[in-house]
């Protein structure tokens, strides 16, 4: 359960930072900004994929990482489409999944 907590919490921290950067990104202008933000969001997707692969033997955690992984793919798609409202919803959804997963892992460790 320690690995599940670690990777869920790690993904959660990455998403929080991505959310902060996305809000900052929306106030800036320039052609290279889209490329930079896309790479940051792809980093979120990779972080979740890493956690999913490592925590795959814990069946209940696998579901959280799978759902977060789907949302991360939608996040990239929505950003590429310029649907920033959906990007924020995707980020919130991923954050919710990883927070819940981390709390459950912590609870499982206590039990």
At 39-94, the pLDDT tens digits run 999 999 999 999 999 999 999 999 999 999 999 999 999 999 999 999 999 999 99
Burial class (CB in 10 A: 0-12, 13-18, 19+), 39: exposed
Of 72 and 2, the structure prediction assigns the larger pLDDT to: 72
* Contact assessment for residue 11 and residue 68, using Cβ atoms and an 8 Å cutoff: yes
pLDDT of 111 over the 70 cut: no
| Buried b / exposed e along 6-33 (16+ C-beta atoms within 10 A) | ebbbbbbebbeebbeebeebeeeeeeee
Q: What domains sit in the chain, N to C, each tagged with a CATH number?
A: 1-110 (1.20.120.660)
pLDDT of residue 110: 67
Of 30 and 12, the structure prediction assigns the larger pLDDT to: 12
Model confidence at 1, pLDDT cuts 50, 70, 90, reads low
Q: Which of 63, 73, 72 is nearest to 92 (CA)?
A: 72
pLDDT of 107 over the 80 cut: yes
Model confidence at 16, pLDDT cuts 50, 70, 90, reads very high
């Amino acid at each position: 359960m320690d690995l599940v907590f670690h990777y869920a919490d790690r993904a959660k921290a990455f998403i929080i930072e991505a959310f902060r950067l996305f809000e900052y990104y929306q106030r800036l202008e320039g052609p290279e900004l889209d490329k930079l933000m896309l790479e940051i969001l792809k980093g979120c997707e990779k972080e979740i994929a890493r956690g999913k692969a490592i925590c795959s033997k814990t069946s209940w955690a696998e579901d959280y990482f799978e759902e977060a992984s789907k949302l991360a793919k939608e996040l990239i798609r929505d950003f590429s489409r310029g649907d920033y409202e959906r990007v924020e919803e995707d980020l919130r959804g991923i954050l919710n999944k990883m927070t819940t997963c981390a709390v459950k892992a912590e609870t499982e460790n206590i039990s």
